[in-house]
Amino acid sequence: MASFYEPPRADYRIDGYKAATGQTEDAFFSVTLSADMLVPLAKHHSADGRDTYLLLYDRTAIWDIPGPAEYVTLHITRDTAQRTFDFAHERHPVIPLAQNWLIHQGCPAEAAELSKNHGQRPADALTARLEDMLRANPDDRYTVLDHSTDNPCSFDFGIEVSTLVHDSHPTSAHAPYRVFLEETTKDFRSYTMRAGAFPSVEAADTWVRERSAPLPLAPAPDGVIGLRAEAARARSTVNSGGLAVPPAAVIPPRSPSAAPARVRRSAP
């Protein structure tokens, strides 16, 4: 008989515990209703047994209305004396934002790293640097305003995620709205991220919908592009045709006949 791979299930560690309130019980049931479809990517259990941090990929998101975020984070807190638990949770469009949430909840930064089973990797140094910015989000610099995920569930297409944020850093005052665009290759082995800068929410939204002009690139992280990141930008392949893109147009405009914008990243 053929054997099929079954991904591991999340370990909530609430056996012998009851929900602190009826509202907690209802909310936890709702979040974990399809527990077998929640794939753990990172986890941490505190040594004293009081806290559990989980980063999960929700395989049911592709059945929802178009565009939902596919990552779920949970912070479970336990009263070991009363044998009760409570929890907080959030959805996120990209992994670095999910990790940022966990770290703000008290999870050690190293414990929020993905397990070795998660095979996708940044395609270049610039992608890794932009992810670091979102993961750290110093002084709550970025506030997420909107996001959209397009997962065609097909090996014929990659997955694309756009995340619109407000950048509160003073150096971004002239164009404080950022679109972080993440594109996963159709073989799901690697992905790229690029950031565009816009003067208004309306301008950012128009670009995401129409793609009638090149992505107006945001300044490089910390105002400096290292040699590795500069080289990565030059050989970027994030355009829909898979061809090398010159540094001045990392994301090219879409042709009128192009498919609608696909906005997210692949399942583990």
- Which pLDDT score, from 0 to 100, does residue 232 have? 40
Same domain, 125 and 88: no
205 domain residue, yes or no:
yes
**Which of 77, 112, 147 corresponds to the end of one domain?**
112
Report whether pLDDT(81) > 50.
yes
**Which of 112, 139, 174 corresponds to the end of one domain?**
112
- Which pLDDT score, from 0 to 100, does residue 192 have? 96
- Which band of pLDDT confidence, cut at 50, 70 and 90, is reported for residue 50? very high
- Which band of pLDDT confidence, cut at 50, 70 and 90, is reported for residue 2? low
Tell me the mean pLDDT in the region 22-50: 95
**Range of 174's domain?**
121-249
Same domain, 64 and 166: no
1 domain residue, yes or no:
no
- Percent of the chain clearing pLDDT 70 (strictly above): 78
Report whether pLDDT(267) > 60.
no
Same domain, 104 and 126: no
Please, what is the average pLDDT of the chain? 82
Same domain, 100 and 138: no
142 domain residue, yes or no:
yes
- Which band of pLDDT confidence, cut at 50, 70 and 90, is reported for residue 4? low
- Which pLDDT score, from 0 to 100, does residue 264 have? 35
Same domain, 81 and 132: no
For 44-48, which contacts have Cβ atoms below 8 Å and span 24 or more sequence positions?
44/102, 44/107, 44/108, 44/111, 44/112, 45/11, 45/13, 48/80
Q: For residues 247 and 62, give the distance between their C-alpha atoms in angstroms, rounded to a whole number.
A: 33
Render pLDDT for 131-184 as a digit per residue (tens, 0 to 9). Answer: 999 999 988 999 999 999 988 777 778 889 999 999 999 999 999 999 999 999
Same domain, 88 and 179: no
Question: What is the number of domains present in the chain?
Answer: 2
Report whether pLDDT(223) > 60.
no
Same domain, 26 and 43: yes
Tell me the mean pLDDT in the region 118-142: 91
- Which band of pLDDT confidence, cut at 50, 70 and 90, is reported for residue 117? low
Backbone phi, psi, residue 209, to 5°: -75, -40
Report whether pLDDT(261) > 60.
no
Same domain, 215 and 134: yes
**Which of 67, 83, 112 corresponds to the end of one domain?**
112
CA distances from 16 to 3, 23, 30, 50, 78 (A): 33, 19, 20, 13, 11
Same domain, 62 and 131: no
Same domain, 103 and 132: no
255 domain residue, yes or no:
no
257 domain residue, yes or no:
no
- Which pLDDT score, from 0 to 100, does residue 247 have? 30
Helix runs in 91-145, H state only: 95-105, 125-136
Question: What's the DSSP call for residue 61?
Answer: G
Tell me the mean pLDDT in the region 43-52: 97
Report whether pLDDT(228) > 90.
no
Amino acid at position 205, single letter: D
Question: If you count them, how many residues does the chain have?
Answer: 268
Residue matched to tokens 């397009």? 150
Same domain, 179 and 59: no
Same domain, 53 and 172: no
- Which pLDDT score, from 0 to 100, does residue 136 have? 95
Q: Average the pLDDT over each of 86-90, 168-172, 226-230 and give the range with the smallest value.
A: 226-230
262 domain residue, yes or no:
no
Tell me the mean pLDDT in the region 75-83: 98
Q: For residues 268 and 28, give the distance between their C-alpha atoms in angstroms, rounded to a whole number.
A: 24
- Which pLDDT score, from 0 to 100, does residue 8 have? 85
- Which band of pLDDT confidence, cut at 50, 70 and 90, is reported for residue 190? very high
- Which band of pLDDT confidence, cut at 50, 70 and 90, is reported for residue 92? very high
Q: For residues 129 and 82, give the distance between their C-alpha atoms in angstroms, rounded to a whole number.
A: 44
